[in-house]
Amino acid sequence: MKFGVVVFPGSNCDQDAVDALTLMGQPVVKLWHKDHDLQGCDFILLPGGFAHGDYLRTGAIARFSPIMNEVIAHANRGGYLMGICNGFQVLAEARLVPGVLLRNLSQKYTCKNIYLKPQSSSVLVSAGLDKEQPLKIPIAHGDGRYYADADTLKQLNDNDQVIFRYCDETGAITDAANPNGSLENIAGVANERKNVFGMMPHPERAADPLLGNTDGRLILEQLVTSVLA
Protein backbone atom coordinates (compact mmCIF):
# COMPACT_ATOMS: atom_id res chain seq x y z
CA MET A 1 0.00 0.00 0.00
CA LYS A 2 1.44 3.33 -1.11
CA PHE A 3 0.13 6.64 0.23
CA GLY A 4 0.18 9.96 -1.61
CA VAL A 5 -0.23 13.30 0.20
CA VAL A 6 -1.33 16.12 -2.10
CA VAL A 7 0.37 19.47 -1.48
CA PHE A 8 -1.48 22.66 -2.43
CA PRO A 9 -0.05 26.18 -2.09
CA GLY A 10 -0.96 26.91 1.53
CA SER A 11 -1.01 23.31 2.77
CA ASN A 12 0.61 23.21 6.21
CA CYS A 13 -0.15 19.70 7.48
CA ASP A 14 1.30 17.75 4.58
CA GLN A 15 4.53 16.95 6.42
CA ASP A 16 2.56 16.03 9.55
CA ALA A 17 0.63 13.48 7.49
CA VAL A 18 3.83 12.13 5.91
CA ASP A 19 5.51 11.83 9.31
CA ALA A 20 2.54 10.06 10.90
CA LEU A 21 2.29 7.51 8.08
CA THR A 22 6.06 7.01 8.08
CA LEU A 23 5.95 6.31 11.83
CA MET A 24 3.63 3.44 11.01
CA GLY A 25 6.01 2.07 8.41
CA GLN A 26 3.94 3.07 5.37
CA PRO A 27 5.50 4.18 2.06
CA VAL A 28 4.36 7.73 1.31
CA VAL A 29 5.15 10.41 -1.27
CA LYS A 30 4.12 14.03 -1.73
CA LEU A 31 2.11 14.94 -4.82
CA TRP A 32 2.27 18.54 -6.07
CA HIS A 33 -1.09 20.09 -6.97
CA LYS A 34 0.00 20.82 -10.56
CA ASP A 35 1.01 17.22 -11.22
CA HIS A 36 -1.04 14.85 -13.36
CA ASP A 37 0.42 11.63 -11.97
CA LEU A 38 -0.54 9.90 -8.73
CA GLN A 39 2.75 7.94 -8.88
CA GLY A 40 1.06 4.60 -8.39
CA CYS A 41 -0.43 5.56 -5.01
CA ASP A 42 -3.23 3.38 -3.70
CA PHE A 43 -4.45 5.81 -1.04
CA ILE A 44 -4.62 9.60 -1.52
CA LEU A 45 -4.74 12.05 1.39
CA LEU A 46 -5.66 15.74 1.14
CA PRO A 47 -4.05 17.45 4.16
CA GLY A 48 -4.99 20.43 6.29
CA GLY A 49 -3.91 24.00 5.77
CA PHE A 50 -5.12 26.98 3.77
CA ALA A 51 -5.05 25.83 0.14
CA HIS A 52 -4.71 28.85 -2.15
CA GLY A 53 -5.14 31.08 0.90
CA ASP A 54 -8.76 29.93 1.35
CA TYR A 55 -9.76 32.63 -1.13
CA LEU A 56 -13.32 32.60 -2.51
CA ARG A 57 -14.31 29.70 -0.21
CA THR A 58 -12.26 27.16 1.69
CA GLY A 59 -11.23 24.49 -0.80
CA ALA A 60 -13.00 26.12 -3.74
CA ILE A 61 -9.87 26.92 -5.77
CA ALA A 62 -7.97 23.77 -4.76
CA ARG A 63 -10.83 21.71 -6.12
CA PHE A 64 -9.74 22.86 -9.62
CA SER A 65 -6.02 22.12 -9.22
CA PRO A 66 -4.78 19.88 -12.07
CA ILE A 67 -4.11 16.87 -9.84
CA MET A 68 -7.74 16.85 -8.70
CA ASN A 69 -8.71 15.41 -12.09
CA GLU A 70 -6.63 12.36 -11.23
CA VAL A 71 -7.80 12.32 -7.61
CA ILE A 72 -11.46 12.38 -8.65
CA ALA A 73 -10.88 9.64 -11.23
CA HIS A 74 -9.10 7.58 -8.56
CA ALA A 75 -12.09 7.94 -6.20
CA ASN A 76 -14.57 7.13 -8.96
CA ARG A 77 -12.66 3.89 -9.62
CA GLY A 78 -13.16 2.96 -5.97
CA GLY A 79 -9.74 4.11 -4.79
CA TYR A 80 -9.33 5.29 -1.22
CA LEU A 81 -9.31 9.04 -0.58
CA MET A 82 -9.27 10.96 2.71
CA GLY A 83 -9.44 14.68 3.43
CA ILE A 84 -8.46 16.17 6.79
CA CYS A 85 -9.62 19.69 7.76
CA ASN A 86 -8.88 21.78 4.65
CA GLY A 87 -8.78 18.49 2.75
CA PHE A 88 -12.33 17.77 3.94
CA GLN A 89 -13.35 21.18 2.61
CA VAL A 90 -11.79 20.34 -0.77
CA LEU A 91 -13.69 17.03 -0.86
CA ALA A 92 -16.95 18.86 -0.17
CA GLU A 93 -16.25 21.44 -2.89
CA ALA A 94 -15.53 18.62 -5.35
CA ARG A 95 -18.82 16.92 -4.35
CA LEU A 96 -16.91 13.80 -3.36
CA VAL A 97 -18.62 13.76 0.05
CA PRO A 98 -22.07 15.10 0.93
CA GLY A 99 -22.62 18.42 2.67
CA VAL A 100 -20.62 21.62 3.06
CA LEU A 101 -18.34 23.22 5.67
CA LEU A 102 -19.46 26.66 6.83
CA ARG A 103 -17.99 29.34 9.07
CA ASN A 104 -17.86 28.36 12.75
CA LEU A 105 -20.86 29.70 14.66
CA SER A 106 -18.44 31.60 16.89
CA GLN A 107 -17.12 33.38 13.76
CA LYS A 108 -13.66 32.66 15.17
CA TYR A 109 -10.78 30.38 14.27
CA THR A 110 -10.61 27.58 16.85
CA CYS A 111 -7.46 25.66 17.74
CA LYS A 112 -7.65 23.22 20.67
CA ASN A 113 -8.06 19.60 21.66
CA ILE A 114 -11.60 18.21 21.44
CA TYR A 115 -13.09 14.74 21.81
CA LEU A 116 -14.51 12.51 19.10
CA LYS A 117 -16.78 9.50 19.30
CA PRO A 118 -16.44 6.91 16.49
CA GLN A 119 -19.80 6.25 14.84
CA SER A 120 -19.80 4.18 11.65
CA SER A 121 -19.35 0.43 11.84
CA SER A 122 -18.99 0.07 8.07
CA VAL A 123 -16.57 2.85 7.02
CA LEU A 124 -13.02 1.52 7.31
CA VAL A 125 -11.59 4.54 9.15
CA SER A 126 -13.89 3.99 12.14
CA ALA A 127 -15.26 0.47 11.76
CA GLY A 128 -12.84 -1.24 14.14
CA LEU A 129 -12.64 1.52 16.75
CA ASP A 130 -14.25 1.23 20.18
CA LYS A 131 -17.53 3.11 19.78
CA GLU A 132 -17.59 3.91 23.50
CA GLN A 133 -14.06 5.33 23.71
CA PRO A 134 -13.82 9.11 23.22
CA LEU A 135 -10.65 10.14 21.38
CA LYS A 136 -8.80 13.38 22.15
CA ILE A 137 -7.86 14.95 18.80
CA PRO A 138 -6.76 18.52 17.90
CA ILE A 139 -8.85 20.84 15.74
CA ALA A 140 -7.64 23.98 13.97
CA HIS A 141 -10.21 25.62 11.72
CA GLY A 142 -12.41 28.63 11.12
CA ASP A 143 -14.79 26.97 8.66
CA GLY A 144 -15.59 23.60 10.18
CA ARG A 145 -19.36 23.75 10.72
CA TYR A 146 -20.80 20.75 8.90
CA TYR A 147 -24.13 21.42 7.19
CA ALA A 148 -26.42 19.35 4.96
CA ASP A 149 -30.12 19.44 4.20
CA ALA A 150 -32.58 17.19 6.01
CA ASP A 151 -32.73 14.57 3.24
CA THR A 152 -28.94 14.31 3.11
CA LEU A 153 -28.70 13.99 6.89
CA LYS A 154 -31.26 11.19 6.83
CA GLN A 155 -29.32 9.36 4.12
CA LEU A 156 -26.06 9.78 6.04
CA ASN A 157 -27.60 8.29 9.16
CA ASP A 158 -29.55 5.55 7.38
CA ASN A 159 -26.49 4.48 5.38
CA ASP A 160 -24.03 4.62 8.32
CA GLN A 161 -21.92 7.33 6.64
CA VAL A 162 -21.25 9.49 9.73
CA ILE A 163 -17.79 8.44 10.90
CA PHE A 164 -17.23 10.73 13.91
CA ARG A 165 -19.24 13.05 16.15
CA TYR A 166 -17.97 15.63 18.62
CA CYS A 167 -18.42 14.55 22.23
CA ASP A 168 -17.14 15.43 25.69
CA GLU A 169 -14.42 13.53 27.56
CA THR A 170 -17.00 11.05 28.90
CA GLY A 171 -18.30 10.29 25.38
CA ALA A 172 -21.55 12.25 25.72
CA ILE A 173 -22.60 13.89 22.45
CA THR A 174 -23.83 17.29 23.63
CA ASP A 175 -24.24 20.84 22.33
CA ALA A 176 -21.54 21.99 24.75
CA ALA A 177 -19.06 19.55 23.20
CA ASN A 178 -19.70 20.89 19.67
CA PRO A 179 -16.82 23.29 18.86
CA ASN A 180 -18.22 24.84 15.69
CA GLY A 181 -21.98 24.33 15.46
CA SER A 182 -21.92 21.33 13.12
CA LEU A 183 -25.33 19.75 12.60
CA GLU A 184 -25.80 16.70 14.80
CA ASN A 185 -22.23 17.20 16.12
CA ILE A 186 -20.91 15.69 12.87
CA ALA A 187 -17.11 15.78 12.66
CA GLY A 188 -16.62 13.49 9.65
CA VAL A 189 -18.54 11.73 6.90
CA ALA A 190 -17.99 9.24 4.09
CA ASN A 191 -19.41 9.08 0.60
CA GLU A 192 -22.16 6.59 -0.23
CA ARG A 193 -19.65 4.11 -1.64
CA LYS A 194 -17.56 4.49 1.56
CA ASN A 195 -14.18 4.79 -0.14
CA VAL A 196 -13.96 8.57 0.35
CA PHE A 197 -14.04 10.13 3.80
CA GLY A 198 -13.37 13.50 5.36
CA MET A 199 -12.98 14.78 8.89
CA MET A 200 -12.25 18.19 10.42
CA PRO A 201 -10.07 17.12 13.39
CA HIS A 202 -6.39 16.26 12.87
CA PRO A 203 -5.44 12.67 13.79
CA GLU A 204 -1.99 13.17 12.23
CA ARG A 205 -1.25 15.78 14.92
CA ALA A 206 -1.83 13.21 17.66
CA ALA A 207 0.14 10.25 16.33
CA ASP A 208 3.62 10.68 17.84
CA PRO A 209 4.32 9.91 21.53
CA LEU A 210 6.63 12.95 21.60
CA LEU A 211 3.53 15.12 21.23
CA GLY A 212 1.99 13.70 24.41
CA ASN A 213 -1.11 12.34 22.71
CA THR A 214 -1.46 9.28 20.47
CA ASP A 215 -5.26 9.01 20.16
CA GLY A 216 -4.95 10.07 16.52
CA ARG A 217 -2.70 7.13 15.84
CA LEU A 218 -5.59 4.81 16.75
CA ILE A 219 -7.55 6.32 13.85
CA LEU A 220 -4.66 6.09 11.39
CA GLU A 221 -3.77 2.55 12.47
CA GLN A 222 -7.40 1.52 12.00
CA LEU A 223 -7.30 3.03 8.52
CA VAL A 224 -4.04 1.32 7.55
CA THR A 225 -5.07 -2.04 9.04
CA SER A 226 -8.42 -1.99 7.24
CA VAL A 227 -6.91 -1.06 3.88
CA LEU A 228 -4.28 -3.79 4.13
CA ALA A 229 -6.75 -6.46 5.31
* 85 flagged as catalytic: yes
The catalytically annotated residue of 41, 52, 70, 204 is: 204
* 33 flagged as catalytic: no
What letters, b where the CB count within 10 A reaches 16 and e where it falls short, cover 41-58?
bebbbbbbbbbbebeeeb
User: Strands 80-84 and 43-46: what pairing?
Assistant: parallel
- For the chain, report the end-to-end CA distance as a whole number of angstroms: 11
* Packed helices 215-228 and 14-23: angle between N→C axes, nearest 10 degrees: 70
User: Side-chain half-sphere of 90: how many Cα atoms within 13 Å?
Assistant: 35
User: Strands 28-32 and 3-7: what pairing?
Assistant: parallel
The catalytically annotated residue of 52, 85, 93, 167 is: 85
Measuring CA to CA, which residue among 196, 193, 207 is closest to residue 90? 196
Contact 31, 4 (CB under 8 A): yes
* 74 flagged as catalytic: no
Contact 220, 3 (CB under 8 A): no
Q: Which residues are catalytic?
A: 85, 202, 204
